[in-house]
Amino acid sequence: MIQNNKLTEEQYTKNFCDIHPPFEHDEAAAIEANRCLNCYDAPCTKLCPTSIDVPLFIKQISSGNIKGSAKTILSANIMGAGCSKVCPVEKLCEGACVYNFLDEEPINIAKLQRYSTEKAMEKKWKLFSRKDSLGKKVAVVGAGPAGLACAHALSLQGIDVTIYEKEAKAGGLMNYGVAAYKVTSQFCKEEVDYILSLGGIKMEYNKALGKDISLAELQQNFDAVFLGIGVGVARALEIPGEDLQGVEDAISFIYNIRTNDYSKIKVGDNVAVIGMGMTAIDAATQSKRLGAKEVTLIYRRTENEKPCTDVELDIAKLDGCAFIWLASPKEIVGENGIVKKFVCNKMTLGEPDVSGRRAPIETGETFSLDVDMVIKAAGQIPFENLVKDASLQNKNGKINIEKNGNTNLKGVFAGGDAVNGGKEVVDAVQAGKDGAKGILEYLDI
């Protein structure tokens, strides 16, 4: 049986403290801001899914116009504060920074973005004011990044928005699905409160679509509906032993970490994590930080094809996680219903598949690991039944949309993970903005 409470209070605090500490001094932020070249048609902005005008907001920090800086960020991305903590900036804005060509450290855009947006939150700057109510009502399902971004953009234009959220808190995966050392629950709450301080957005918590509310009902009671319902649990491995005690899905595992005291979370001594995406890394590093002795990440391709970034991989490496490349789950072996061994196929790379990456092929050889916990993090499954029951056109449960979030149902819009199957928070924010644009067009506003 795997156990909880493996560490002391101090160890938990240390292990889960902020991995990217903020600027402690205004001068430090100014020094970094002044390094920025303020590029024209800036590559950083071009690689930001929400197109934040990075050179402008950095210039505003350097000129001492922090309020203007926060507004530049939040106008483009209302979750700019959270994104500054969870964005894989190494493949987005910072990865595009022209300083990379000089082998010079890129501008610490995320840290500067955090600086301005946290100041705005801390000082409760009122950067936006909504237009007078137009008497139009829109329902948003899901208070994750897509839903919140959509709701905020709509309310700004005078739409009365109601958000239905199945959990007791808003924030979606930001709150429940990323490593605790990136964002705290407290921060998520403050960010949501700041977004909602605009007014015009009513929250209905603990209301799940398909259970407490139906799409038909929403279509009837509102002028338009936005679905930002995200994706569900981790994909099943479909191998023997998956129901053994000690096999957990990464989303639930992280959800538990985010909703309980660290000391309450059970973690194995020898943990295998399947997958090499951001969620797999978050599950592996947090297992280690909860006190697991050995954590091994298993991926069916090589390091070259990994979905996570090098920076994420480095976090796992520094946490002491081990990696087995070219290995695919074959069987989980138990004893008395409890995980004991994890058997994998050794793989090799064949011809490129639809993703353009070389497909893993079984070699016929196997190996096994002694483990007491297996965490599944090989992608998440869309809410297929929910989507199909609502007659939404979809592809394996991922809702089909046209430009600006239009679904096949009139007045029903969608965006975020529910559409793309699971991307970054910043992608979901843009999808929410697009949805709001579609809704405003639909309502002739």
Least distance in angstroms from the C-beta of 435 to other proteins: 24
Nearer to other proteins, 38 or 391 (CB): 38
Radius of gyration of the chain (CA): 22
If one counts every other C-beta atom within 10 angstroms of the C-beta of residue 34, the result is 11
Least distance in angstroms from the C-beta of 68 to other proteins: 15
Nearer to other proteins, 10 or 27 (CB): 27
Nearer to other proteins, 58 or 227 (CB): 58
User: The dihedral of CA 112, 173, 263, 320: what is its sign?
Assistant: negative
Strand partners, 274: 298, 376
Binding site for other proteins (CB under 8 A): 30-31, 33-34, 37-44, 46-47, 62, 96, 98-99, 101-102
Checking phi first, is residue 117 left (phi over 0); if not, alpha (psi -120 to 50) or beta? Answer: alpha
Contact assessment for residue 2 and residue 266, using Cβ atoms and an 8 Å cutoff: yes
Nearest-angstrom CA–CA distance, 271 and 291: 11
Tokens of 136: 């139009």
Nearer to other proteins, 33 or 139 (CB): 33
Nearer to other proteins, 62 or 285 (CB): 62
Least distance in angstroms from the C-beta of 94 to other proteins: 12
Nearer to other proteins, 30 or 56 (CB): 30
Least distance in angstroms from the C-beta of 29 to other proteins: 10
Nearest-angstrom CA–CA distance, 205 and 73: 28
Q: Cα-flanking dihedrals φ and ψ of residue 204, to 5°?
A: -120, 100
Least distance in angstroms from the C-beta of 45 to other proteins: 8
Which of 231, 241, 206, 207 minimizes the C-alpha distance to 221?
207
